[in-house]
Chain A
Amino acid sequence: MNGNKILKFIILDILRNKWVITYTVFLMCISAGLMFFSKDSTKAIVSVLNVVLILVPLVSILFCSIHIYNSKEFIQMLLSQPVKRSTIFFAEYTGLVISLSVSFLAGIILPLSFYGVSTILIYLALTGVFLSVIFSAFSVLISISTDEKVKGIGISLFLWLFFSVLYDGLVLIIYFAFNDYPLEKIMVIITTLNPVDLSRVLILLKLDISALMGYTGANFQKVAGSMTGIFLSFTVLIMWSITPLYFAYRKFMKKNF
């Protein structure tokens, strides 16, 4: 019961934050603009997807880190009240995820839905929400584990850079270094180890445009096949959502405030 009250309170606080409003408006401009100027809706969705894959993890991880560090004293105040630690943890995390997901859905999915609701749009919505969930969980884990704000935000930024930029480069290096070996199955496993790549593959498998899929995506389709690939992607995304959250929860329960 107390959890719902705290959750409501946190969502209200976050949704009034000017950065969340800016994020929503910015996403709206991008999705509406790309859709307006593009004649082919598939190409427009791929362009929106590329923005989503870069921007959603970045904003989620940065915003959550800053929010948790700024809320430290408020969390202390809640902890000094007759409320369970776990209730506060889940209220904070759920509040962040709901607010960021609402911003994403309002910013990206709402403008695109004016051009018609399709399965691909639902997939785009799901992957965007998953990315918010996963990177918020990582961010909460980092912020709880590191007391120093600058260090915590630095680690968060590095994690984003690693998953969004460095990872695909490393995959290519591995591919060229071990070109003579049968790497296809290993590459599928490597793809699932990156939630950003996984989200990209998930959408592109649905769009069925292998030319735009990049190396990891093309490989994924070849090995897993479309429907199996989509099912596998969602399963792994769920695992990606639960794992950092579990470790963050354990840390929070033992943390000294």
Chain B
Amino acid sequence: MINAENINKYYGKFHVLKSINLKIDKGQIVALMGPNGSGKTTLLKCILGLVIADSGEIKVDGASIKNNFEYRHKIGYMPQTAYFPENIKVKDVIQIIKEIRGEKSATDFELYEYYGIENFTDKKISSLSQGMKQKVSSALTFMFDSDILILDEPTAGLDPLSAEYMKLKIKKEKDKGKLIIITTHILNEVEELSDRMIYLLDGEVRADRINDSSGTKNRAESILEKFTDLFKSYEWK
């Protein structure tokens, strides 16, 4: 579904992504992990076309994303922090995204209804808390039933109940055969949700493992141990 071949990205002299090769198929939840500044968000943004890779090729469903924008019909993206224009109402934001993606393609209103967004559609964005903005952003991400969902720290900023509902929703979407890529620093979340874990360190894929949740009592601790070893063994330049 997503195929990244030899992706390199520099920010000035800083080599952010170093020859990344990844093949990610549908029907799974992939957790992209790594310390701050390891290149997780840059990699996601390369897939979305927000950041343009210096070399290499990314293909979505076999088609190159270079000079292509139509492929983003297949992707729902929830950024780490949701920001919308301050002077407009929630309903205006929802309307513009609906108009861009096609009114008829808005079919999934589960999060929209669960988060009670209908109750504050007439409010101005500037009057919403960051958590409420995050709810609007997540409802919009899931609304268009996209085949690929890219969620950058999806539960950050949400209250515990909303975060739990978000996790349930992610699992449901996976069961529909979708590909979900999440970045998170919460190990319990990785353990609970992911089928595959990709660990980035200093712009390189340092570990790519299938999450086998059988047998171990506390998977989160086990993941932490593995990645702490990996982190410590890395020779910092």
* A residues in contact (CB < 8 Å) with B: 2, 5-6, 9-10, 12-14, 16-17, 70-74, 76-85, 254, 256-257
Take A6-B96, A13-B88 as given contacts and tell me if A83 and B50 are in contact as well, using a CB distance cutoff of 8 Å: no
Smallest distance from the beta carbon of B12 to chain A beta carbons, Å?
11
Known A5-B96, A76-B50, A256-B11: A81·B101 in contact at CB below 8 Å: yes
Q: Does B2 contact A (CB under 8 A)?
A: no
Q: Which listed residue, A76, A81, A254, A256, touches B79 by the CB 8 Å rule?
A: A76
Q: Is there contact, CB below 8 Å, between B87 and A16? A: yes
Taking CB atoms, residues of chain A closer than 8 Å to B11 are: 256
Q: Are B79 and A73 in contact (CB under 8 A)?
A: yes
Beyond A2-B99, A256-B50, 19 extra complex contacts between A and B, CB < 8 Å? A6-B100, A9-B88, A14-B87, A16-B87, A72-B83, A73-B84, A76-B50, A77-B79, A78-B100, A79-B49, A79-B50, A80-B49, A80-B72, A82-B70, A83-B69, A83-B72, A256-B11, A257-B45, A257-B50
Nearest-neighbour CB distance to chain A for B154, whole angstroms, equals 15
- In-complex Cβ contact of A256 among B52, B85, B96, B100 (8 A): B52
A contact residues around B48 at 8 Å (CB)? 79-80
Residue of B nearest to A70 (CB): B86
> Can you list 30 A-B contacts with CB-CB less than 8 angstroms, sorted by A residue number?
A2-B99, A5-B96, A5-B99, A5-B100, A6-B96, A9-B92, A9-B96, A13-B87, A16-B87, A17-B87, A71-B85, A73-B79, A73-B81, A73-B83, A73-B84, A74-B85, A76-B79, A78-B100, A79-B48, A79-B49, A80-B50, A80-B72, A80-B79, A81-B101, A82-B100, A83-B69, A83-B100, A254-B52, A256-B11, A256-B51
| B75 part of interface (Cβ distance < 8 Å) | yes
For B75, what are the chain A residues with a Cβ–Cβ distance below 8 Å? 80
Within 8 A of A (CB), among B67-118: 69-73, 75, 77, 79, 81-88, 92, 96-97, 99-101
| Contact surface of B with A, Cβ cutoff 8 Å | 11, 45, 48-52, 69-73, 75, 77, 79, 81-88, 92, 96-97, 99-101
For the complex, give the distance between the alpha carbons of A5 and B97 in Å.
Answer: 10
Q: How far is the CA of A257 from the CA of B11 in the complex (A)?
A: 12
A256 touches B87 (CB 8 A): no
Query: What's the Cα separation between A12 and B51 when bound, in Å?
Result: 28
**Hey, which chain A residues are within 8 Å of B51, CB to CB?**
256-257
Give the CA-CA distance A120 to B74 in the complex, in Å.
54
Q: How far is the CA of A17 from the CA of B86 in the complex (A)?
A: 9
CA–CA, A14 and B71, complex, Å: 30
Q: Are B85 and A81 in contact (CB under 8 A)?
A: no
Task: Give the distance to chain A from B234, nearest Cβ to Cβ, in Å.
Answer: 25
**Distance A82 CA – B148 CA, assembled complex (angstroms):** 13
Task: List chain A residues, Cβ under 8 A from B92.
Answer: 9, 12
- Give the 7 A-B residue pairs with the shortest CB-CB distance, closest first: A73-B83, A80-B77, A16-B87, A82-B72, A256-B51, A13-B85, A257-B50
Contacts of B77 in A (CB 8 A): 80
Closest chain A residue to B71 by CB distance? A82
Considering the chains assembled together, what is the distance between the CA atoms of A256 and B39 in angstroms?
Answer: 14
